[in-house]
Amino acid sequence: MIDFELEPQVVSRLQMYHAVAENMMRPISREYDEREHEDPWQFFETMWQAQSLNDVGPAARSTGGEPQAGPKLRNLNTVITTEELCWGDVGLFLATPNSGLGGAAVMAAGTPEQKARFLKRFAEGKPKWGAMAITEPACGSDSAAVTTTATRDGDEWVINGTKIFCTAGHRAVDKSEGFVVVWATVDKSAGRAGIKPFVVEHGTPGMQVARLEQKLGIRASDTAAIIFDNCRVPAGNLLGSAEVNPEGGFKDVMATFDATRPIVAAMAIGVGRAALDFVRTFLKEQNVEVRYGLSPRRLSVVERDFMEMEVQLQAARLLTWRAAWMMDMGQRNNLEASMAKAKAGLVVTQITQKAVELLGPLGYSRKLLVEKWMRDAKINDIFEGTQQINMLIVARRILGYGSKELN
C-alpha cells in the first residue's frame, strides 16, 4: 500500500511555514504587488535568518548529467515547503534572498570545490541573491540558440552579450554580494555542446542591469535585463570543464531545469491552493454545500467545477512530489520534471481563472487577492520552459525521439 502521509517533523515544519505565509506574507501581499521593485527589507531579514537554520534547496545533478542524491528527501521537502510559502505569496517567495536559479546551476554543473566556494556565502552575512541568465532577446524557448559569447584570454574569460528575464537579477547584481550564472557559448561551431555556465560575481566590471521589467504578476520579484560588456571573470568561474564535447554543454542546462521545474510546479500548486481554499470558504459562507459521493448528474455546476479544481490540483501535486522524490533517490527525472511543470502550469491557470469566475464581480475586484492570484498564476505556465516546450520534452522522452525527429 502506498502511504502519502507526511512524517511528523515535516508536518511541524509545514505548520511553521504556514504561519509565515499567513502572518508575514499575506498581510503585505497587495502592498508589494502595487509597489513593484521596492524591497520589503524587514521580510527579507526575517526570512534570511530563518533559512540559515534550514537546509532547503534543490540537490541538482552533478556535472556530466549523472543523478546525485542529496540529503534524505531534501528535494521533496523543498517542494512541499515551496507550496506552503507560495500559498502566502508567490512573488514574495521568489523575492526571498537565497541562491535561487544560480545556485541550482552551480549544483548541476559545478565541481565540489566550486559548490563550496560559491554557495558558502549564502550561509553568511547579510541577505543575498543568486540569479541565472540564459534567455536572450532573440532566443526564448530555444535555450540552445544562445549567442552570448565567452572568449578565453589568458587566465580569464571575457563575456559579451545581453540576457533578459533574469529572476532576481537586479538584487543579485546591485543589492547583495550574490552572483549571476550566465550561459554563454565558448565555440559557436559546436552548437549545443559549446554552451557553458559562468559565475559572474557581484561587483564584476562589465556586468550591468539594463532595465527592470514591468510585469503582469509576481510583481514583488524583480525581473531584469542584464548586459555583459567585455565582462572578465577568472578561468575558475567556468562551472565544470571547459572541454567542448557532444555529451556536455547543454546537458548541464537541462540538469538545472530537472532540479528547478518541480519547484516551479510547487509554486504553481501553492497559488492554485490559495485560490481553491478561498473559494471553499466563500461557498461555505454562501451556504453552498459541495456534496461528495453523489453521481455527477445530481451535482450543480458549481459543485462539479469545484471538485474538478480539487482533482486537478491533487494530480499536479502528486506528479510534482514524484519528480522531487526521484531526484532524492538519485534517479533521472527529466521526464517527470517536465510532466509536473506542464501539468501544474496548466492547472493553476485554470483554477485561478475558475475562481475569479465563480466569485463573479468580487473575483475581479481588487478588494480580494483572487484577481492577483490569477495574474500570478500565468507565469508558471511560461518560465522554466513553456507549456509547449515541456509537452515536447514529454513526447520526446515517451516516444524515444530526439530533437531532430520531433521538434
State the amino acid at position 358 in one-letter form: L
Q: Would you state the pLDDT for residue 1?
A: 43
Dist CA 370 CA 28 (whole Å): 15
For the chain, the domains span 8-54+90-237, 250-399
Q: Which three cell numbers stand for residue 178?
A: 550574490
Q: For residue 272, which of 387, 351, 375 has the smallest C-alpha distance?
A: 351
Q: Would you state the pLDDT for residue 101?
A: 93
303 is catalytic: no
Q: Which three cell numbers stand for residue 34?
A: 502595487
CB 173 within 8 A of CB 126: no
Dist CA 296 CA 389 (whole Å): 34
- How far does CA 309 lie from the centroid of its chain? 23
Q: Would you state the pLDDT for residue 169?
A: 97
Which residues in the chain show pLDDT less than 70? 1-3, 52-71, 143, 246-249
The single residue of 84, 336, 371, 384 carrying the catalytic annotation is: 384
Task: Tell the burial category of 332 from Cβ atoms under 10 Å away from its Cβ (0-12, 13-18, 19+).
Answer: middle
CATH code, residues 8-54+90-237: 2.40.110.10
| pTM for the whole structure | 0.92
CATH architecture for the domain at 250-399: Up-down Bundle (1.20)
Q: For residue 62, which of 194, 191, 248 has the smallest C-alpha distance?
A: 248
CB 211 within 8 A of CB 225: yes
On the CB side of 269, CA atoms within 13 Å amount to 29
Residues in the chain: 407
Q: Would you state the pLDDT for residue 403?
A: 80
CB 252 within 8 A of CB 104: no
Q: Would you state the pLDDT for residue 247?
A: 63
